[in-house]
Structure 1
Amino acid sequence: MPRTVARVIVDALAELEVRQVFGVVGDALNPLTDALRTTDGVEWVGCRHEEAAAFAASAQSQLTGRLAVCMGTVGPGSVHLLNGLYDAAKSHTPVLAIAGQVPLTELGSGYFQEVDNDALFSDVAVFRATITSPEQLPLLLETAVRNALGRKGVAVLTVPGDIGEKELPDDRPFRLSFTTPTTRPDEAAVRAATDLLDEAERVTLLVGQGAREARDQVLALADRLAAPMVLTLKAKEGFEGDNPFQVGQTGLIGNPAAASALQDADTLLLLGTDFPYRDWYPEGRTVIQVDTEPTHIGRRVPVEIGLVGDVGATVRDLLAHLSGPAGAGATDRAHLDKAVQHFASWREGQDRLAAPGHDKGLIGRVRSALDNRDHDIRPEALAAAVDRYAADDAVFTSDTGMATVWLSRFVEMRGTRRLLGSYNLGSMANAMPQALGAQLLDRDRQVVAFCGDGGLSMLLGDLMTLRTYELPVTLVVFDNRRLGMVKLEQEQSGLPEFGTVLDNPDFAAVATALGLTGIRVTDPAELDEAVRTALGIRGPVLLDVVTNPDEIAVPAEPTVEQGWGFAVAKMKEIVRSHGDDS
């Protein structure tokens, strides 16, 4: 029997094994949501904000590698999708967004809620098109999906309000033939790279997300070269657990051992990373870069040799061409040993800082008198407690800002833990909706969101989505009453804190009022038990922990300018505070 445009689209989503579609219902989407209502295996998830819907879809796509779908209706509904779609685009993950539009007969007339979707999505989408005739299906849909999967990005298909219910003249089946090729660099480039590695005395690896599928090969190469392994944040998942070569992250969230491992090297080997912070690359080093994207080669740091290819295939070729039974660095492990020992020493210091009784000791009491006079809970202790009690297969999400700093330093991606965040776009408010999408993939798997108070309050309404679908997400709120990363940035620059103070509610009470389990912690002595309890509840839980707003995350290589900036900022804050009191 003839099928409508809406039915063809929804049937194709079912064939693609899309399990959920996220969005907010309305006018132009009505034919599509009605088709979803009558389709087994594809669930409509009604969110309170389309931005949350897009973040949830992006999370599912990043976790599975498959196509995920969100919808926004005419005008404002589609506009609201943008931020979450930018997160998907910057994360290079396939998402199909179906956007509503005014009736085709009114297009271009300035009709109520009309927005030019082709212009709106021009920057974020690898493909965008408007269905103007039923005869365009299923080919136009196949093209959108093929672009999203093949180019690992966002495809937008716009459906005018008078198109969804129209029937196709021919009931042609949806067909999608798609395979992912494995690419590798030419042999001459590989041999040139191995010559440099053979000649090198101290090699350091900078490993990114693009290497995660090649863990065994990368570990073998690190051993062969006796090379410490610096991880990007997105490479924590896959490389942090059970890895004797890794020395953590670099950059503002990093540690001094990783920074030294980069500085001490004479040769850097970049594997599957587009780490963007130029200031954290050492100068004057020989650099070899491996990436599947030719445009990524050399755009952050000058490169001696660029190898365009899959990390796994390329590393296997490098191992095969390195001279002798072991690379030149393998007989002298001093560079590796120094970096690993430095990292272990730094970790011991961090562990002491996060210990429950830290502030009761002499050093802790002195420190508290300077930076924690209200005896709030230290965020390091909160992150460490979550790490202790969370499952080894938990999925973690983190808001951009200080919540990510504490996760990166105190939560180990051991076992089969997964990690998501807006680590390329750097958006606020991503952790909770990403956790929503992750939990819908597997309701039996623990999902933990590290939420900043600023981020959580920005999309607070979708707490109700967690309740509506009874999703057992644990929201851990770092309630420091601040936009903490902005505060840190201001003080680093010598500016007094301004505009960052948040007048927060009792988030646990808000959660309770919305039908979630709310737990609030203000006493450091109650933290450990509260975390254990929250993670043991089967249902949506919000753990609101009042943390120290003056906690400072010292960069991996603090500069004199940064130290002076903090001192000047603190003096200005004191003067301003005294002036306010008079």
Structure 2
Amino acid sequence: MFEQTAGEALIEILTDWGVEYIFGMPGDSINMLMEPIRKQDKIRFIQVRHEEVGALAAAAYAKLTGKLGVCLAIAGPGAIHLLNGLYDAKLDGAPVLAITGQVESDLIGTDFFQEVNLDRLFDDVALYNQRIMSAEQLPVVANQAIRMALTHHSVSHLSIPDDIPHFRVNREARRTNSILVKSIPMAEPHNLDQAVQLLAKPGNTVILAGRGTHSAREELLNFALSQKAPIVLSLPGKGAIPDDHPYCLGGLGLLGTKPAYHAMKEADTLLMIGTSFPFTGFLPKKVNTIQIDINPAQIGKRYPVDVGLAGDAGLTLRTLNERLIERGEDEFLKQCQSRMKDWHAKMTQQGQEELLPLRPQTVPVLLQDILEPNAIISCDVGNVTVWMARNFRISQQQFITSSWLATLGCGLPGAIAAKLAYPDRQVVAVVGDGGFAMTLSDFVTAVKYQLPLVVIVLNNAKIAMIKYEQESMGNAEFGTDLTNPDFARFAEDCGGIGITVHTRDELVAALPKAFSASKPVILDVFVDPGEAPMPAHITFSQAKNYAIHLVKEWMAD
């Protein structure tokens, strides 16, 4: 590694850590990093058209693979553009390394062209945030930055002045290596005793499973089967078990199902696993609550708990399963399953109706028939999230979105990252017209790198979720109309394939054509702008406010 330039040393370190892709845009303050990237063939540089897309793609890559996502940008505007994608990574627990250029060392502090205080700018988003001061410092700090990102599932940032990558690393430089050691934390024995005593009490037990259960499917299902406990999923938890599993009640809240809502109302004991569910108004009142989380700081953070189990979800559940006696009473479970059967039938019916304009629920229902079990779904934010959460039933597919930041525009970058990571799998981005318009320029990135992914745009010429939010508050709709381009023609102009869809029959014909294409495809699907993402259970306040909204709309005419 030594007798190299600092730039060459950095690329070698990234290679040692198994980095496969760097998402970024070339520019003047990173040209000395671009040269060693150009000279090697183990890491592929993916040129994006906007740095935000690069950071969102790096975050999605990390979410899908568990590996380090890497993005690269120049000082000043390029670095600033990264922030939205990096906050998505931070909040969703995705390990990402952001590398930014900076003005040359002797110009820092002179208010030089494109100089921004990157140390301060990245201080909130990055768990590890360092400015490189010398060539000798770079290898050690790079190893530490990557180790911190992977260990803590968070963001690291390195700011590298423009002159540093050109300098040579001398033989006396400190040496570290690319080693990552993992441990499996286990809950304290006395907390496990408390949990077993609580779970042994009679009553209805309901499980709320989050992202932390994706690697503990077998243990989760064994617990549910033993305790006759239905499973409700948070949005990041979607896919932890198949949506068609007889113990699955779907999601909770605005994105959720009626059976999940009623199960929470009727619960006596709530077991929260691998989730820090923020919408506590949908959780039961005055129940016995146990929370399992690998991070002790998350336990009791948003909702009062009686017992906290700080440990790995799989190991903790396995231990509980060994100690708990199987329940015989299953009346509550059967009632939940009966409700869920009716709910599934209703959701399927929504997507089968021959209506014009097309109901947006038609897209996930028909997509169900075309997607292979190992397909990857990158879902954008908005009403589209509601329809995919409720109406698409995951079997084995991977589902990613911007869960905690909920940033519009994440769908296409996620699909690009997915197709790079898993080129042999079907990849679809399901997006709204509002979200897609924010990052659509990078459809040409998919074309450039010959990534045959499918983008399905639910086109209703509205920021539809905000329209609904305004109306449910009793306000008149304002500022939510959109003027859209012809998305199908845009796809053709970029070198991809564009298909316009107005009817259910057209969608049935278009889907197999799109997924068999050798180019990126945009399906521009025109859907009903009046289809509101009504909660599974409507409160009196929501109904009252919606009525007030209708009066305001009538008065405005």
How would you bin the TM-score normalised by the shorter chain?
over 0.9
Structure 2: 5+ residue stretches without partners = none
Aligned with 1:343 (options 337, 340, 360) = 340
Alpha-carbon distance, 1:556 to partner: 2.2
Residues in 1 aligned to 2:246 and 2:34: alpha-carbon distance in whole angstroms: 51
Structure 1 length-normalised TM: 0.93
Residues in 2 aligned to 1:512 and 1:564: alpha-carbon distance in whole angstroms: 46
Provide the residue aligned with 1:370 in structure 2. none
Residues in 1 aligned to 2:174 and 2:295: alpha-carbon distance in whole angstroms: 36
* Contact 1:48 1:465 survives alignment (8 Å): yes
Superposed CA deviations along residues 145-177 of structure 1, whole A, max 9, x for unmatched, are 111111110000111011111110127765122
Aligned with 2:392 (options 411, 415, 424) = 411
**1:41 matched to 2:42:** yes
- The amino acid that maps onto 1:315 is L
Aligned with 1:529 (options 489, 509, 514) = 509
Alpha-carbon distance, 1:450 to partner: 0.6
**1:487 matched to 2:467:** yes
Alpha-carbon distance, 1:390 to partner: 1.4
* Contact 1:129 1:157 survives alignment (8 Å): yes
- The amino acid that maps onto 1:25 is P
* Contact 1:59 1:438 survives alignment (8 Å): yes
Residues in 2 aligned to 1:343 and 1:309: alpha-carbon distance in whole angstroms: 31
Alpha-carbon distance, 1:423 to partner: 0.8
- The amino acid that maps onto 2:42 is G
- The amino acid that maps onto 2:346 is G
Alpha-carbon distance, 1:241 to partner: 4.6
Alpha-carbon distance, 1:356 to partner: 4.3
Provide the residue aligned with 1:364 in structure 2. none
Q: Aligned with 1:539: secondary structure?
A: coil
- The amino acid that maps onto 1:548 is D
Provide the residue aligned with 2:215 in structure 1. 213
Q: For structure 1, which segment, 282-291 or 566-575, has the greater mean C-alpha deviation from structure 2 after superposition?
A: 566-575
Q: Aligned with 1:459: secondary structure?
A: helix
Residues in 1 aligned to 2:36 and 2:546: alpha-carbon distance in whole angstroms: 58
- The amino acid that maps onto 2:38 is R
Superposed CA deviations along residues 207-255 of structure 1, whole A, max 9, x for unmatched, are 1110111111111111111111101112222312552211100111101
Once the two structures are superposed, the pairs formed by residues 158-169 of structure 1 within 5 Å of their partners are 158-169=159-170
Provide the residue aligned with 1:180 in structure 2. 182
Residues in 1 aligned to 2:222 and 2:542: alpha-carbon distance in whole angstroms: 38
* Contact 1:238 1:413 survives alignment (8 Å): no
Residues in 1 aligned to 2:138 and 2:494: alpha-carbon distance in whole angstroms: 42
Residues in 1 aligned to 2:497 and 2:231: alpha-carbon distance in whole angstroms: 41
Aligned with 2:491 (options 511, 514, 526) = 511
* Contact 1:401 1:485 survives alignment (8 Å): yes
Q: For structure 1, which segment, 531-540 or 31-40, has the greater mean C-alpha deviation from structure 2 after superposition?
A: 531-540
Alpha-carbon distance, 1:27 to partner: 1.1
Residues in 1 aligned to 2:64 and 2:182: alpha-carbon distance in whole angstroms: 17
Provide the residue aligned with 2:10 in structure 1. 9
Aligned with 1:402 (options 354, 364, 383) = 383
Alpha-carbon distance, 1:336 to partner: 0.7
Aligned with 2:330 (options 321, 329, 333) = 333
Provide the residue aligned with 1:270 in structure 2. 272
**1:474 matched to 2:467:** no
Provide the residue aligned with 1:307 in structure 2. 309
* Contact 2:207 2:270 survives alignment (8 Å): yes
Residues in 1 aligned to 2:176 and 2:500: alpha-carbon distance in whole angstroms: 51
Provide the residue aligned with 1:60 in structure 2. 61
Residues in 2 aligned to 1:205 and 1:298: alpha-carbon distance in whole angstroms: 16
* Contact 1:482 1:501 survives alignment (8 Å): yes
**1:520 matched to 2:520:** no
Structure 2 length-normalised TM: 0.98
Q: Alpha carbon RMSD of aligned pairs, Å?
A: 1.3
Over 6 Å off, 4+ runs: none
Once the two structures are superposed, the pairs formed by residues 98-177 of structure 1 within 5 Å of their partners are 98-170=99-171, 175-177=177-179
- The amino acid that maps onto 1:486 is I
Alpha-carbon distance, 1:574 to partner: 3.2
Identity %: 36
Q: Aligned with 2:251: secondary structure?
A: coil
* Contact 2:254 2:536 survives alignment (8 Å): yes
Provide the residue aligned with 2:206 in structure 1. 204
Superposed CA deviations along residues 475-516 of structure 1, whole A, max 9, x for unmatched, are 000001011110111111111111000011111111111111
- The amino acid that maps onto 1:162 is D
Q: Aligned with 2:136: secondary structure?
A: helix
**1:441 matched to 2:421:** yes
Provide the residue aligned with 2:374 in structure 1. 393
* Contact 1:376 1:524 survives alignment (8 Å): no
- The amino acid that maps onto 2:274 is G
Q: Aligned with 1:125: secondary structure?
A: coil
Alpha-carbon distance, 1:62 to partner: 0.8
* Contact 1:476 1:544 survives alignment (8 Å): yes
Residues in 1 aligned to 2:174 and 2:414: alpha-carbon distance in whole angstroms: 35
Provide the residue aligned with 1:558 in structure 2. 538
Provide the residue aligned with 1:377 in structure 2. 358
* Contact 2:233 2:252 survives alignment (8 Å): yes
* Contact 2:143 2:177 survives alignment (8 Å): yes
Q: Aligned with 1:303: secondary structure?
A: coil
Superposed CA deviations along residues 526-555 of structure 1, whole A, max 9, x for unmatched, are 221112221221220000001000002221
Provide the residue aligned with 1:90 in structure 2. 91
Alpha-carbon distance, 1:380 to partner: 0.5
Q: Aligned with 1:448: secondary structure?
A: strand
Q: For structure 1, which segment, 133-142 or 149-158, has the greater mean C-alpha deviation from structure 2 after superposition?
A: 133-142
* Contact 2:16 2:178 survives alignment (8 Å): no
Provide the residue aligned with 1:422 in structure 2. 402
Structure 1: 5+ residue stretches without partners = 360-374
Residues in 2 aligned to 1:96 and 1:489: alpha-carbon distance in whole angstroms: 36
Residues in 2 aligned to 1:407 and 1:192: alpha-carbon distance in whole angstroms: 38
Residues in 1 aligned to 2:367 and 2:352: alpha-carbon distance in whole angstroms: 13
* Contact 1:204 1:262 survives alignment (8 Å): yes
Residues in 2 aligned to 1:229 and 1:434: alpha-carbon distance in whole angstroms: 27
Once the two structures are superposed, the pairs formed by residues 231-242 of structure 1 within 5 Å of their partners are 231-241=233-243
Superposed CA deviations along residues 36-92 of structure 1, whole A, max 9, x for unmatched, are 111112111110000000011111111111111001101000000000000000111
Alpha-carbon distance, 1:32 to partner: 1.2
Residues in 2 aligned to 1:242 and 1:8: alpha-carbon distance in whole angstroms: 49
Q: How many residues align?
A: 555
Provide the residue aligned with 1:367 in structure 2. none
Residues in 1 aligned to 2:404 and 2:186: alpha-carbon distance in whole angstroms: 26
Q: Taking structure 1 as reference, are residues 167 and 105 closer, same or farther at Cα in structure 2, changes over 3 Å only?
A: same
Once the two structures are superposed, the pairs formed by residues 243-282 of structure 1 within 5 Å of their partners are 243-282=245-284
* Contact 1:399 1:428 survives alignment (8 Å): yes
* Contact 2:205 2:267 survives alignment (8 Å): yes
Residues in 2 aligned to 1:552 and 1:455: alpha-carbon distance in whole angstroms: 17
* Contact 1:356 1:525 survives alignment (8 Å): no
Residues in 1 aligned to 2:147 and 2:503: alpha-carbon distance in whole angstroms: 53
* Contact 2:234 2:252 survives alignment (8 Å): yes
Provide the residue aligned with 2:518 in structure 1. 538
Q: For structure 1, which segment, 162-171 or 289-298, has the greater mean C-alpha deviation from structure 2 after superposition?
A: 162-171
Residues in 1 aligned to 2:226 and 2:243: alpha-carbon distance in whole angstroms: 19
- The amino acid that maps onto 1:83 is N
Residues in 1 aligned to 2:49 and 2:514: alpha-carbon distance in whole angstroms: 25
